[in-house]
Structure 1
Amino acid sequence: MWKIKPPITYALEAKYRTHLETLVPTDPMSLFNLKRGSPEEEFPNLKYNYTCMASILTPKLYARQFNRATQSGVIFDDVIRPGLEEPGELHGPMSVGCVAGDSQSYILFCDFFDRVIEAYQNHKMSKLQESDFNHDNLKGGDDFDRDYALSCEVSVVRGVDDFSFPTHCSRGERRQLLMLAKKALDQLAEQLPGKLYSKAELSQDKEDKGVTVGAPSLSQLRNGVARDWPDSRAVWFQRKTGLDLLGSRTLGPPQIGDHADDANTQGLPMYLCQPPLVLLEALYKKLRHPFIWKQQLGWVVSSPADVGTGLRASVRVKLQLLPRHRRLEDVLKRLRLRMDKTDCSEVYNISNAQTIGLDEVGFTQLVVDGVKLLIRMEKRLEGEEKIDDLVPLQK
């Protein structure tokens, strides 16, 4: 699929044949000298693997991907390595188990990635993705019950065109991305004043409280996202709005993250995320490195679990009785939400379970409506009443 047909030979062009042949793209795999066996010999052991990748991958599918490589050198074994390093547990949460090394991976290995996205995100790839980040279209995001909704957060990630993703990028690419982020953020500062902090600066400056760059997790070290930490890791902080904008993405430098957290604001602070993200999108496009968008996938990033919108809207909610209710799992599935424990007992993070299929406002609206319903159910249980009539129909 990498080679083009040689040009038709004409008498007057015969002398240019050698030059024309040098323009034919080279098959990347022909440049490698990998000491590999056949696809049957190299097929991984998935017997005790509980990732989404393992549930999709078959010897036949593996063989179809085996001799493919993107122009930046991503092969299929690079794609599935995270799932082999962390196979998960039988009764634990299922991880996606794979990553894209670059945006071309989604095209070259599309028969694999499409199946993973459909299975993990419960999404039909025949649907086209749309984008809408206008917070004015959000309804009811400012009237949570403060006795239950403690804080909220919206984060958005974007991939940058012409650069590999975190697990595959080189140190040089990561440093170039940081320089690109500095150029864009310098221009952004004219409209939204802020400061870009490197990890080294944050370690030395003890007075800048509230500006932190977390250490990488063991999982991020294993899958290569945190390679060369803390080289070229930085965070952009805007004090007036309390907005943390991860200029070169704390642990995933080739992505742009837009992160907001406001414990004193009722509702999701989507209005904080919109201005810098829209401005950055225009600035990166002006710098000839636009955010990566594909019509069928939406915003393309390294993890198939985040493609589409790249958005995670979450609310920290205090729930005591509902987490123990027999119908909780069914309720969350119908609402298309996920519930994760926090360090505080009886406090949970409620967020969207999918990132593709709706636009940014749509997923945020799911979280807003879902959190309100969960709080209503919790109040019912506190009054020793039933909640079966509140269980929604499957969305």
Structure 2
Amino acid sequence: MSAAAAAAPQYPSVLRPASAPAPGINRLALALAGTSTGLLIYVVLSPKRYPPHYFDKQFITVDEWIQQGVGNFEYYCPEKGATFPPYKWLDRLPDLSQHNNHTADVLRRNPGLYDELKRRATENGINLGKGIKTGIDNISAQVDEQVGVVAGDAESYSTFRELFDEIISRLHAYPKDGCQPHDFHSEKLTDARIDPLGKCVLSCTIRVVRSLEGFNLPPSLSFEDRREVERVIAAALAGLDGVSKGTYYPLPGSLSYTDTTLSKSEEARLKEEGLLMPEPASTIVLSSGIGRHWPDGRGIFSSAQRDVYIWVNNSDHMEIFAKARGDDVKGSFERLMRMVGDLEKGLRDQECSFAHDDHLGYVSTCPSNLGTGLRISLEMRLPNLMDRPDFRDILGKLGLRMMVTEASTNVCSVENTHTMGLTEVQLTNDFMRSCTKLVGLEARLEEGIDVDDEVRAMFSDK
């Protein structure tokens, strides 16, 4: 065992997978892709070594900082600063003065909060340290508004309410006594086009996350429970018919599902279209525990029409999304909600349901996805707006944020900021109005019209 693996803390017994291997497994070919070299690496393990507790160096060529997060141990990698011990009660937290995430900021502003919460645990044995490890290990945010905490199970949100309520308020401006409303009726969406001339909007993606009732969330899933989550979801998907019918493919290297395999051509297509589930090649992901046992128990569902997809056991039990070219938000919403409804019926046949709470809405691993769990994203070409120094401020005023920028093509990905407090229909209509405003501003700038007064008026509105 490597020194790093030996030093890595193990899960408490309630979370530790049984040592017995799955029946019929002789060898495991564990595929890891997405390394800095772009190579596809296979790790072979015997039955007694599966699920993996660490990787033997004789089989390893992938970077060790990734190795330490895809076995069964908590992520421990001094090279990356990932040394926070989640199952130890520290007298005090490490220095958080340079950390740039919401969790570190809350703990920094309230020094007594860690002591107040650190000895609590959910009925499943999940404590505060497990949730905040990713925020302590990672000093600098790699994306805007890094949250810095994950929920290991649904109960975490109530057990550590003092922390989660503050973060939820920051992310969504959602009150502590709020009740999350829902409305899935697509006929209530506006028929107005966002980009009628087709000059600005390249593509549309709408996504919701869902978790299964009665299971830990992915950061704390045991090896067996991760497979059971996959089995339940795959069985529900297999019963779909009509336009929702499709095929479930396990990720290459997973031995948990053998009814289908992902062909090289299909894998290449998914990768080309940005639909292949990303590998856990991020310290933020690895410290959260989401990468454990990778790629076992993970897979991708593709509808027969190739317009709705589902990722299984990535950051959440399910990430369901619909994609379309252009600005077809309403059509994508309709397809997505049809799939969600059909899947919910299929889960009932498996005596299972979505995890939901009156206050939190649909339960998710990250507090940023609570409530509706709805994210709408448009890939937009806005060269003139993106040249403005106040572009991000304009987005913020419109309830939007920019996630990805390709400077060479003046293309950005714009999505809604909040997922809580409003219904699915309200969030979508607000998003469409805001993006229509962006398209209008871009058109006027393209024509050489000054929009400074219009922008100032936006910020003066209450």
Task: Note whether the superposition's TM-score is higher than 0.5.
Answer: yes
| Deviates most, 97-106 or 382-391 | 382-391
Q: Is the 8 A contact 1:202 1:211 kept in 2?
A: no
Which residue does 2:249 correspond to in 1? 197
Q: Is the 8 A contact 1:241 1:272 kept in 2?
A: no
Tell me the amino acid that sits aligned with residue 296 of structure 1: H
**Within the alignment, does 1:47 sit opposite 2:97 as a pair?**
yes
Q: Is the 8 A contact 1:299 1:308 kept in 2?
A: yes
Q: Is the 8 A contact 1:350 1:367 kept in 2?
A: no
**Within the alignment, does 1:125 sit opposite 2:176 as a pair?**
yes
Q: 1:263 aligns with which of 325, 328, 338?
A: 325
1:36 to 1:262, Cα distance in 2 relative to 1, 3 A: closer
Give the whole-Å Cα distance in 2 for the aligned partners of 1:54 and 1:283: 40
Give the whole-Å Cα distance in 2 for the aligned partners of 1:244 and 1:303: 20
Q: Deviations over 1:194-239 (max 9, x none)?
A: 1111112655442576345333231323322121111011111113
Give the whole-Å Cα distance in 2 for the aligned partners of 1:274 and 1:242: 13
Tell me the amino acid that sits aligned with residue 366 of structure 2: S
Give the whole-Å Cα distance in 1 for the aligned partners of 2:135 and 2:215: 23
Which residue does 2:387 correspond to in 1? 324
Secondary structure, counterpart of 2:296 in structure 1: coil
Q: CA deviation at 1:378?
A: 0.9
Q: Is the 8 A contact 2:376 2:428 kept in 1?
A: yes
Which residue does 1:210 correspond to in 2? 269
Give the whole-Å Cα distance in 1 for the aligned partners of 2:268 and 2:114: 49
Q: 2:286 aligns with which of 195, 210, 221?
A: 221
Which residue does 2:416 correspond to in 1? 352
**Within the alignment, does 1:171 sit opposite 2:234 as a pair?**
no
Q: CA deviation at 1:75?
A: 0.5
Q: Deviations over 1:374-393 (max 9, x none)?
A: 11111111222222343335
1:141 to 1:84, Cα distance in 2 relative to 1, 3 A: farther
| Deviates most, 355-364 or 68-77 | 355-364
Q: Is the 8 A contact 1:336 1:352 kept in 2?
A: yes
Secondary structure, counterpart of 1:378 in structure 2: helix
Give the whole-Å Cα distance in 1 for the aligned partners of 2:290 and 2:354: 19
Give runs of aligned pairs for residues 1-395 of structure 1, distance below 5 A: 36=88, 41-57=91-107, 58-89=110-141, 93-140=144-191, 142-144=193-195, 145-189=197-241, 192-200=244-252, 204-206=263-265, 210-212=269-271, 213-216=276-279, 217-218=281-282, 219-240=284-305, 242-246=307-311, 248-249=312-313, 251-252=314-315, 255-263=317-325, 266-268=328-330, 269-343=332-406, 345-391=409-455, 392=458
Q: Is the 8 A contact 1:314 1:367 kept in 2?
A: no
Secondary structure, counterpart of 1:42 in structure 2: coil
Which residue does 2:8 correspond to in 1? none
Which residue does 1:13 correspond to in 2? none
| Deviates most, 364-373 or 284-293 | 284-293
Give the whole-Å Cα distance in 2 for the aligned partners of 1:274 and 1:203: 26
Secondary structure, counterpart of 2:202 in structure 1: strand
Tell me the amino acid that sits aligned with residue 109 of structure 1: F
Q: Is the 8 A contact 1:123 1:357 kept in 2?
A: yes
* Structure 2 residue runs without a partner (length 5+): 1-13, 15-85, 253-259
Give the whole-Å Cα distance in 1 for the aligned partners of 2:193 and 2:218: 35
* Structure 1 residue runs without a partner (length 5+): 1-27, 29-33
Tell me the amino acid that sits aligned with residue 265 of structure 2: K
Q: CA deviation at 1:267?
A: 3.4
1:328 to 1:135, Cα distance in 2 relative to 1, 3 A: same
Q: Deviations over 1:43-89 (max 9, x none)?
A: 23211111000111123111111110111111101111111122225
Q: Is the 8 A contact 1:85 1:223 kept in 2?
A: no
Secondary structure, counterpart of 1:196 in structure 2: strand
Q: CA deviation at 1:122?
A: 2.5
Give the whole-Å Cα distance in 2 for the aligned partners of 1:319 and 1:294: 39
Secondary structure, counterpart of 1:124 in structure 2: coil
| Deviates most, 334-343 or 75-84 | 334-343
Q: Is the 8 A contact 1:153 1:262 kept in 2?
A: yes
Q: Is the 8 A contact 1:236 1:245 kept in 2?
A: yes
Q: Is the 8 A contact 1:43 1:59 kept in 2?
A: no
Q: Is the 8 A contact 2:131 2:288 kept in 1?
A: no
Please give the TM-score of this superposition, normalised by the length of structure 2.
0.72
Backbone CA RMSD of aligned residues? 2.4
1:264 to 1:202, Cα distance in 2 relative to 1, 3 A: farther
